[in-house]
Amino acid sequence: MKRIAVLLLLFVSQFTFAQDKVAVFDMDGTLISEEPAYAMAIFAKEYGQNQIETVNDLVNELKALTKNPRYDKMLKSFMKTDPIKVYPQMMDVVDSLKAEGYKLVICTGSEVRFAKAVNKKYFNNKFDVVIGSEFRAEKLKPTNSSINDKEGKIDNLKSNGITPTIVYGNSHGDFPMMKWVGNGVLVIHDDKASGEYDKPEQYIKECNELGFKTIKISDWNLSENPSWKTK
């Protein structure tokens, strides 16, 4: 835990906080595993009625599921099967930030009620705010996108009155948030023992060009000047 606290201070010590400290996390691939598939996709395949082969298929199935009056019961049943793998290293980060007085936010492409259920079961409601995609058409305003991704994440953070201090993500879909804030951390879950796949090298290259940090989970236990401790 001490190593995590030192790491976090290295990430944020160069910033002066004139307001509340806010850490925003992507969820899938950052806090929880995307293998063998997104948790939301596994849920949709288990409870949906149609075959899912494309992103559009997934969105359409989620639209149908979220209209089902039994949706919340489906979520409870799904969570009871304990289908989600949480990255313990990232929970160390979350706990350290919480102890330092950060407000914690999940900003994810997963459906918002699904993400809130994950926060409750797996994160013990440590996150103060959960922002996700909204697939129920009656809940959408004409100017809002239903998918919480890329620039849409910024719009939804702004609409919730949230200006992050630091952003943690694992893919290019999180880069707009990182660029907006100017303080991003790319989380790379490529430990072969865990079965995670390598992240595209261009993500790391772009992080270096933008001055963002990277956390490589397979190097997490290195104690002597690991590369992710320096710019």
pLDDT at 201: 76
| Mean pLDDT, contiguous 10-residue spans, the chain (231 residues) | 46 46 94 86 91 86 90 94 88 89 94 95 96 72 61 91 93 90 85 59 82 75 36 31
Task: Report the run of H or E that residue 106 belongs to, with start and end.
Answer: strand 103-111
Q: Which single residue is written with the structure tokens 């104690």?
A: 223
Report the predicted TM-score, pTM, of the whole model to 2 decimal places: 0.81
- Measured at the CA of 55, the angle between CA 109 and CA 157, to 5 degrees, comes to 20
Backbone angles phi, psi at 193, to 5 degrees: -65, -25
Q: Cis check for the bond before 69: say yes or no (omega within 30 of 0).
A: no
What's residue 200's pLDDT? 66
List the one residue out of 158, 163, 166 whose CA is nearest residue 184.
Answer: 166
pLDDT value, residue 108: 95
The pLDDT of residue 199 is: 64
Burial class (CB in 10 A: 0-12, 13-18, 19+), 19: exposed
**pLDDT reported for residue 15:** 39
pLDDT score of 117:
96
- Residue 53 is predicted with a pLDDT of 86
Q: Which residues, in sequence order, are CB contacts of 231 under 8 Å at separation 6+?
A: 211, 213
